[in-house]
């Protein structure tokens, strides 16, 4: 024997050692006096003590229980001792420790020998879980399965007229190979002889006075209200089982108890006996119904974890392999289908939706192009009216005085052309990026040319530049810059040098003097025109800026809400 230790209370059949190999000695049978060899003390209880013995006749270790010193000759204790041995010996059930022998030594010492049970008590398992030690051996499902076996063992005893009266985690043993034992039948009560067959087969050897004295024994925490008043029946054992079940659930997580389990536990431990399960078997059946679903749930969670891990692994390669995102999405779907609360799958889903890759998948790229085209059409539709409103400058030009009617006609025609380009492109039946961007470039070029005819308004040109910058793909930004520079700077300079166009300005006495081509600039009217055009440029800038900010805020609002909504998918940390 490698490791033995004493037990608390009456749990005196346990030895925490490794299973010993079969070692059959080729020796003759020994006498009763030579039968048992003492190995050591296992523990002491209120009524007796248990020693580890080697049975030389069978060549096996046994738990050898005797009355403790001081009470070995007391008639009441001797009767209770015999009752325990005979009750436990006749309750032949896989979850009840078998009694191998009952006898009296030559010196008059009563003893009975039991199977030597190896393992840990349910109390030790619960304390280990409460301390934060999590092992598969003591998972909630395994402990509930063991507890279900305890319920059957108790129901077996009830069917034979025996009430345990001291059920608690310390009296449940979990063996190393899946065994479950209900220990310590020292204060068990045998119900009225006429009520069960067991009363006719057990010679209890104890009077009614001793039975009444024992009825108040037990552990208060596990006693039902009627048990504390001296009543002992199967319902009082059911109450104790309900309290034990509550400890098992609390040891794992009080905040993660399925409502079905909580209902089972509350009913089993109801203060009113009428509200409890009628039998320990009924409690067992209710628990088994839950476990049938729970076992399936555990399998679903395990498979869900496998899919979630695969999704995370595949998504890590998505930047180099866009097709991996499709696989990752499928794996996430399978994981959440099996377990909607799978945290790894939910976090992976959030990462997949919020971490935008440098290169979009073809389908996503096509969707982005479609949205971009829709946005261009929307902006062109908005710009059509402001462009057409440039015709409002016609009365002002006429009021200032027209110096070159062909240029005036060109201005009006260019404004109409830019308006038409924007309108037609914004209302194409099947819009594509090409026509929309062409219309934007063409309209911008026409507008810049028309402003050039007016003599040039830098603020207005800046507004036009902002507009096309917002509405064309970055791939043609360079082209638009060339168009802008060409139409506004290079072309006029070249035409002036070739003598095909009069200068737009000249320097006089350190001042730049604009030389109008299309219209005159009378002093008084020019001041009014400058005020109006300045306010017009500011208004246009405010409108374009507002449109830009609205688009930006709309995008930020959408992204922020989507990020928040995705976060709601993940349950809070506990």
Distance of CA 184 to the CA centre of its chain: 42
> Catalytic one among 55, 155, 166, 237?
166
- Per DSSP, 177 falls in state T
Quickly count: other Cβ atoms within 10 Å of residue 477's Cβ: 12
Which of 409, 504, 401 is closest to 458 using CA atoms? 504
Q: Rounded to an integer, what distance in angstroms lies between the CA atom of residue 66 and that of residue 50?
A: 7
Residue 239 parent element (H or E): helix 234-252
Tokens of 417: 């052309």
- Partnered with residue 114 across adjacent β-strands are 63, 99
Instruction: Enumerate long-range contacts of 174-177, CB under 8 Å, 24 or more apart.
Output: 174/119, 174/120, 174/121, 174/122, 174/125, 174/146, 175/117, 175/118, 175/119, 176/19, 176/118, 176/119, 177/19
Tokens of 402: 């027209």
Tokens of 363: 């389908």
The label of the residue with tokens 């009077």 reads 207
- Per DSSP, 288 falls in state H
Q: Rounded to an integer, what distance in angstroms lies between the CA atom of residue 463 and that of residue 478?
A: 18
- Per DSSP, 176 falls in state T
Q: Rounded to an integer, what distance in angstroms lies between the CA atom of residue 545 and that of residue 51?
A: 92
- For the chain, how far is it from start to end, CA to CA, in angstroms? 44
Dihedral angle at the C-alpha atoms of 34, 37, 41, 43, nearest 10 degrees?
-60
Tokens of 271: 């203060």
Distance of CA 552 to the CA centre of its chain: 34
Q: Is residue 3 annotated as part of the catalytic site, yes or no?
A: no
CA dist 399 to 244, 267, 403, Å?
99, 95, 12
Alpha helical stretches, state H, 48-161: 75-90, 122-130, 140-159
CB contact at 8 A, 80 and 155:
no
CB half-sphere exposure, 397, CA atoms < 13 A? 23
CB contact at 8 A, 122 and 244:
yes
Alpha helical stretches, state H, 433-485: 433-453, 458-471, 477-485
DSSP secondary structure of 32-59:
GGGSEEEEEEEEE-SSEEEEEEEETTTT
Query: What is the three-class DSSP state of 72?
Result: coil
CB contact at 8 A, 185 and 91:
yes
- Which residues are identified as catalytic? 166
């Amino acid at each position: 024997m490698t490791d033995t230790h004493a037990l608390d209370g009456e749990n005196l059949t346990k030895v925490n050692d490794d299973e010993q190999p079969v070692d059959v000695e080729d020796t003759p049978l020994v006498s009763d006096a030579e039968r048992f060899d003492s190995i050591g003390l296992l523990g002491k209880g209120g009524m007796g003590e248990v020693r580890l013995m080697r049975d030389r006749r069978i060549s096996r270790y046994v738990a050898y229980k005797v009355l403790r010193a001081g009470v070995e000759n007391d008639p009441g204790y001797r009767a209770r001792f015999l009752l325990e041995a005979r009750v436990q010996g006749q309750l032949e059930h896989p979850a009840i420790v078998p009694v191998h022998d009952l006898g009296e030594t030559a010196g008059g010492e009563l003893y009975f020998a039991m199977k030597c049970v190896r393992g840990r008590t349910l109390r030790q398992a619960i304390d280990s879980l409460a301390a934060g030690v999590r092992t598969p051996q003591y998972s909630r499902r395994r402990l509930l399965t063991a507890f279900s076996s305890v319920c059957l063992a108790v129901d077996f005893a009830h069917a034979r007229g025996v009430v345990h009266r001291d059920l608690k985690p310390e009296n449940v043993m979990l063996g190393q190979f899946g065994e479950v034992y209900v220990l310590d039948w020292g204060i068990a009560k045998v119900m009225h002889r006429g009520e069960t067959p067991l009363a006719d087969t057990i010679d209890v050897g104890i009077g009614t006075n001793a039975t009444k004295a024992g009825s108040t024994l037990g552990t208060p925490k596990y006693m039902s209200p009627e048990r504390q008043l001296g009543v002992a029946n199967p319902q009082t054992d059911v109450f104790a089982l309900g309290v034990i079940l509550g400890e098992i659930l609390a040891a794992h997580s009080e905040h993660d108890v399925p409502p079905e389990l909580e209902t089972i536990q509350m009913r089993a431990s109801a203060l009113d006996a009428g509200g409890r399960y009628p039998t320990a078997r009924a409690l067992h059946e209710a628990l088994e119904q839950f476990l049938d679903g729970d076992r399936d749930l555990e399998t679903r969670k395990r498979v869900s974890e496998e899919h979630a891990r695969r999704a995370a692994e595949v998504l890590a390669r998505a930047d180099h392999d866009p097709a991996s995102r499709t696989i990752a999405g499928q794996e996430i779907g399978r994981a959440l289908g099996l377990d909607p609360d799978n945290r790894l799958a939910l976090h992976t889903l959030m990462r997949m939706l919020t971490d935008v890759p440098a290169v979009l998948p073809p389908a996503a790229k096509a969707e982005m192009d479609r949205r971009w085209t829709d946005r261009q059409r929307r902006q062109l539709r908005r710009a059509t009216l402001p462009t057409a409103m440039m015709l409002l400058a016609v009365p002002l030009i006429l009021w200032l005085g027209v110096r070159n009617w062909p240029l005036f006609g060109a201005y009006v025609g260019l404004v109409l052309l830019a308006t038409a380009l924007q309108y037609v492109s914004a209302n194409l039946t099947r819009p594509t990026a090409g026509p929309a961007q062409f219309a934007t470039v063409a309209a911008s070029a026409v507008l810049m040319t028309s402003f050039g005819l007016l003599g040039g308004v830098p603020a207005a040109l800046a507004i036009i530049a902002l507009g096309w910058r917002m509405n064309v793909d970055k791939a043609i930004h360079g082209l638009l810059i060339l168009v802008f520079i060409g139409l506004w700077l290079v072309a006029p300079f070249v035409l002036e040098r070739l003598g095909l166009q009069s200068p737009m300005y000249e320097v006089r006495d350190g001042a730049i003097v604009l030389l109008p081509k299309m219209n005159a600039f009378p002093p008084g009217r020019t001041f009014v025109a400058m005020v109006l055009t300045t306010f017009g440029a500011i208004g246009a800038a405010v409108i374009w800026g507002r449109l830009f900010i609205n688009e930006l805020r709309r995008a930020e609002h959408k992204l922020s809400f989507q990020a928040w909504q995705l976060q709601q998918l993940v349950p809070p940390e506990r």
